A and B are shown apart, each in its own frame.
Chain A
Amino acid sequence: MSNEFVPLFYGFNFYLFGLIAIASALLFVTRKSPVAAAMWLVNVMFCLAALYVMLDAQFIGAIQVIVYAGAIMVVFLFVVMLLNLGHAGAVSDLRGNAGRLAAGFVGLAMLAEVMVLARTKFPDAMTLKAVHGLGPVDGTAGVIGPIAGPLFNEYLLAFELTSMLLLTAIVGAVVIGKKRNPDAR
């Protein structure tokens, strides 16, 4: 791999993911169906995760996928379905048999991929060392260390205050959402 090739490759990936992210963000705000909008937001999150990985922040990238694209979007969709805002019949983005076939094909392909990966034996050099978490094995602290260190030293107060903020929000949500007890007076 020549030296000129690396920046080119890097630049290509940057613009690729950047453009996909912007396009997905535009689609996200213009979709009529909340479910479709949420799905485009997932796409934005994935592209951002890719950009984080390109910045050598693999841990943040993984967290981005797990927390934003995973957990938070599931909650979004859950709320959308709970409030029955989806109106799946009216403005579904999945139309006709072609879409269903494509979805089934993608699902089968991913299942096949998982099964193949589960059976393959990788050479030692390709596997991540579990001791260092997700990080590459060159340093002592890996990728998580540089985040964990400041988080629990310099930014300890901010970190603890964040937990305070979340606790306040949870208590507030419970107080607002609690069913009124008719005998309580």
Chain B
Amino acid sequence: MTFDLLNPVQLSSALLPDLLLVAGAILLMLMAAWRPDSDARQRTVGFASIGLLVLTMGLVVWMAVSGLTASDKGVIAVDGFRWMVDLVVLLGAIGTIALAIEHNVRDGIVQAESHVLVLFATSGMMILAGARDLMVVFLGIEIMSVAVYVLAGLNRRSARSAEASLKYFLLGAFATGFLLYGIALVYGATGQTQIVEIGNAIRRFDLTNDPMLLVGIGLMLIGMGFKVAAAPFHMWAPDVYDGSPTPISAFMAATVKAAAFATFMRIWYEAFYNMFSGWAPSVWWLAVVTMVVGNVVALSQKNIKRMLAYSSIVHSGYLLVAVTAASALASTAFTFYVVAYTLATFGAFAVVASMQQLGETDARISDYEGLWHVRPWLATAMAVYLLALLGFPVFGGVGFFAKWYLIQAALAAPAGLTILAVILVLTSVISAGYYLQVVRVMFMKPRPEGAPEPLPVGSLTRAVLAVTVVLILGLGLFPSRLVEMTQMNAFPRYPFSPALQMGQPQFRR
């Protein structure tokens, strides 16, 4: 069935999973506010939230397999890309709430609304996954960000949490200003806010060298760079990920980034495709700087949350390679990479969360010395996540294939990105320095005398760890299943792919 998005009823049907999530979140908000805060209360609301997310996920799967499409004229896309990103985001949200239910006590958080805010942020991300109008994109980013600003500062006893929240809020607002100004200039140049219509206007009026449009795209790129934490706009990420409660750090590093990247990808591919020669050099340099800076700085980190924060910056750089490649293959590689990255990052933060002691905020790498001797399963799971992030064959599971497809996409790109692929491989070698360091510390060092016994791992955290490890290794054994899905779910068509085949948008270097 093809939705006519100008008809309000059909628009609502196209937004069914989003509406379900929002309605449920509002009900849960009332439920959370009904009784005084207590740990039992936050557990009840948390489990109800997980139930709601699972329901939404079921609806997304149902809509994905029933082969729905929508007219181009509309503010929301109905395609496989949207459903795939929705699934990643929902999976991340379920994991976040599962971790938060058990770790809120350790972080001194009793507000049941914390889970509701995760639901609100998730609804913003789901909007972002399908948004085809810059106004909707902006609102989706804001719904997501406003909820996450608050989530970062949930731990009211910790000054670092407050610092993280304020820093994230101020820099996020600053980035939003860039994004909004960029959107205004793009609207000024094309007279359109709908993404597909912007692409059409660029082609029809030949705006490839229009200065206002170029400045607008540049400002939007800066805004997006902040949101996905690409260097040199990454300065907030380590402090914010470090100061926030660990389940929220996982949420930010994995799902928030995936959603921001999804809309970044959609805007750049569907609206600015014909401007390739205008934006490609900037994104190329952004990718290079992000990969090099992130990897080099990550080497010197002593705190594991900061190390993972720099690792997430590095992966932004890898994903920017997919954006630069601008091909159908690249969009497949992108979706595949987002799945692998989300699973591995989420798992790694879950291990960090379960290693934290009561009321402790500092998570040093030295705490992991000899972990194999006291918590063999936890150490093994952490090793799988780190190897997946590294892109190690076999033991890294799906991470290896993710990086493999990314390099393939870069090499096969119409613009020829051989140098970028080489930099990607070289920086990956550097990243072995800090990923394998943690593995070495866990397995090859003795447990220091007097090191505190890690707290027992709760059953929900265990479930999160088990699911992520099984998915990473399982998809690593059968990557073709996921490739089939992502291939089907790559952008259905490129608005103006013939232009690229004719060699019109040339990559200037």
Contact = CB atoms under 8 A, between A and B. Distances in A.
Interface in B101-154: 105, 110-111, 113-114, 116-117, 120-121, 123-124, 127, 133, 135-136, 139-140, 142-143, 146-147, 149-150, 153-154
A171 B136 contact: no
B110 A185 contact: yes
Interface in A144-176: 153, 155-158, 161-162, 164-165, 167-169, 171-176
B123 A171 contact: no
Contacts of A121: none
Contacts of B121: 168
A181 B35 CA distance: 12
B111 A178 contact: yes
A171 B22 contact: no
Contacts of B146: 165, 168-169, 172
Contacts of B76: 157
B153 A162 contact: no
A175 B39 contact: no
- In this complex, which of A158, A161, A181 has the most chain B Cβ atoms within 10 angstroms of its Cβ? A161
Contacts, number: 79
Given A158-B136, A167-B26, A181-B36, A172 B150 contact: yes
A95 interface: no
Nearest to B113: A175
A158 B147 contact: no
A94 to B, nearest CB: 32
A181 B110 CA distance: 9
Given A171-B29, A184-B36, A184-B37, A158 B133 contact: yes
Contacts of A173: 150
A171 B165 CA distance: 15
B39 A185 contact: yes
B289 interface: no
B428 to A, nearest CB: 38
A111 B321 CA distance: 67
Most buried by A among B114, B120, B133, B153: B120
B189 interface: no
Contacts of A184: 36-39, 110
A180 interface: yes
Contacts of B133: 157-158
Contact of B117 (A155, A172, A178, A185): A172
Nearest to A158: B135
B11 interface: yes
Given A164-B123, A184-B36, A175 B154 contact: yes
A172 B22 CA distance: 16
B153 A161 contact: no
A169 to B, nearest CB: 5
A157 B8 CA distance: 9
Nearest to A185: B39
Interface in A101-143: none
A171 B11 contact: no
Given A157-B11, A158-B136, A185-B110, A168 B36 contact: no
Contacts of B150: 171-173, 175-176
Nearest to B162: A176
A21 to B, nearest CB: 18
B75 interface: yes
A162 B139 contact: yes
Contacts of B135: 155, 158
Contacts of A158: 75, 133, 135-136, 139
Contacts of B445: none
A156 B117 contact: no
A157 to B, nearest CB: 5
B373 interface: no
B120 A168 contact: yes
Given A176-B153, A184-B110, A157 B143 contact: no
Given A171-B116, A176-B150, A165 B142 contact: yes
Nearest to B141: A165
Contacts of B29: 171
Contacts of A172: 117, 146-147, 149-150
B412 to A, nearest CB: 37
A181 B39 CA distance: 12
Contacts of A174: 113
B15 interface: yes
B117 A168 contact: yes
Nearest to A161: B139
A163 to B, nearest CB: 10
Contacts of A161: 127, 136, 139-140, 143
A104 B113 CA distance: 49
B156 interface: yes
A156 B26 CA distance: 19
Contacts of B139: 158, 161-162, 164-165
A181 B8 CA distance: 45
Contacts of A156: 8, 11
A79 B111 CA distance: 25
B308 to A, nearest CB: 25
Contacts of B149: 172
Contacts of A164: 22, 120, 123-124, 139, 143
Task: Report, nearest first, the 10 A-B pairs whose CB atoms are least far apart.
Answer: A172-B150, A161-B139, A168-B120, A184-B37, A158-B135, A184-B110, A175-B113, A165-B143, A184-B38, A168-B146
Given A168-B121, A168-B143, 12 more contacts: A161-B136, A168-B146, A171-B116, A175-B111, A176-B150, A178-B37, A178-B111, A181-B37, A181-B110, A184-B36, A184-B37, A185-B110
11 contacts: A157-B76, A158-B139, A162-B139, A164-B124, A165-B142, A168-B121, A168-B146, A168-B147, A174-B113, A175-B113, A178-B37
